[in-house]
Each structure stands twice: as structure tokens, then as C-alpha cells.
Amino acid sequence: MLDSLQPLVFGMLALIIFISAAFITFSRNLIYSAFALLGSFTGVAGLFAMLGADFLAVVQLLVYIGGIMVLYLFAVLMTSGIGDVRLTNRSIAVKIALPLALVLFFSLGKLIFETEWFAQQTVKIAPTTAAIGDLLLTKYLLPFELVSVLLLSTLIGSVALARQELRNSKENHD
């Protein structure tokens, strides 16, 4: 039934993503920006679901909202002077950022207009999890194992950094 309402649902999701993204960028309050991520992450998960990528949609919720967003929140809360709204999130380096953003905008726009789009009639909702696993363990086995190495090195790096930070904060306390 959602098929007939597909454009409407897509429009709603796009609007949610757009509004929260704009909010993240333009809000002067760092905490508000961090919380607004919720809208854009959920919206992207919705888009994944619309494309029939159910596993990706749920992982988007699980990893991005449960993990990355909470990480951002904790990071923001570690910023000193966060309680003072006016101090946070000033727009800096507009002179560099503006041309960069314009270049990105135009190259993306060019890409959108030059690509030959084809219309997918219906999205088949089939379980994608097994297919993903199948590909991971056959065609993309090497990247998959490399991911584990990458994660391991991240783990080692994070513990080294965090231990130092923890020591510093302890010394400051004493």
C-alpha cells in the first residue's frame, strides 16, 4: 500500500533529512546540532528501508544513532563552557568554506543532470542479510578480513589515546 504513497513517503523523509541537516549546520548551539543528527540519521534509515535494504536500515539506526550519535554527544559534553550557548559553534573560516561548498554543489549538480537515470518499477523486499553475508564471505573476503584488522588497530589506537587523556584529567584533578 505504501507503493502508491511512495513519492509522499520519500518527500517526507527527504524533508526530515533536509531540515535536520540545515539545523545541524546553522544552529549556534552545539548540543542542538548534535541532537538534530537524530533526524537525519533516522531519515537515511528510512530511505534505506524504502530501497529494500532492510539490514542496512537497521544497522544505520543501530550504529549511527546508538553509537556515533552518542559518541558525538559525549564529545560535546566534554567541551568546556558548553553550558554557555553563545560561546559555541561560531561559523569560522567562511572564506574558505564557501568556495569549497559552491564547487561541491556545482559538481554534484552537474553529476545529477548528466547521469542517465532509470526508473525502478517496484522494490522487491527480500531478506538482504544473507546476501550481504554471502558476498562478504566470498567475493569480498579480503576486504572483510582487512576490516577486522582495521578495527583492531582502531581499538589499539583508541585505548592509547584515551589512557593518556584519562591520566591528564586525573592530574588536573589532583
Partner 1 sequence: MEGLQHYTPLLMIFGLGIVFAGLFLLLAYAFGPKNPTASKLDVYECGVPSMGSARERFSVKFFLVAMLFLLFDVEVVFLFPWAVLLKTFKEAGMGAAVFWPMFVFLAMLGLGLLYEWRRGGLDWD
Partner 2 sequence: MENFAIHIHESYLYGLPLSVVNLIVMFGAAFVVLLGFVAPFAGLLSFIERRIAARIQCRIGPNRVGPQGLLQFLADGVKSLFKEDLIPKVADKPLFIIAPYLVFLGMFTSFVVLPFSSQWIVADLNVGILYLFATAAITVVGLVMAGWGSGSKWSMLGGMRSAAQIISYEIPTGLAALTAILLAGSLSLQEIIAAQGPHPWQWYFFDNPFTFIAFFILFVALVAEGNRAPFDLPEAETELVSGYNTEYSGMRFLFFFFAEWAHLYVLGAILTTLFLGGWQVPESLLASVGAESIAARILELVFFQLKIYVLVFLVVQLRWTVPRVRMDQMMDMCWKYLVPIGFFCVAGVAIWMMLFPDGVSFVKYLLIAFSSAMVLYYFYKVYRNFKDSRAELELNPFV
- Burial class of 45 by CB neighbour count within 10 A (0 to 12, 13 to 18, 19+): buried
DSSP string, 77-98: HTSTTTT-GGGS-----HHHHH
Say which entry of partner 2, partner 1, none residue 154 contacts (CB below 5 to 8 A, set by partner kind). Answer: partner 1
Q: Is 61 in the site for partner 2 (CB under 8 A)?
A: yes
One of 9, 24, 51, 58 touching partner 2 (CB under 8 A): 58
63 versus 97: smaller Cβ distance to partner 2? 63
Contacts of 32 (CB under 8 A, 6+ apart): 23
CB 13 within 8 A of CB 65: no
Instruction: Give the binding site for partner 1 (CB under 8 A).
Output: 1-3, 6, 9, 49-50, 55, 59, 62-63, 66-68, 70-71, 74-75, 77-80, 82-83, 122-126, 129-130, 132-134, 136-138, 141, 144-145, 147-149, 151-152, 154-156, 158-160, 162-163, 165-166, 169
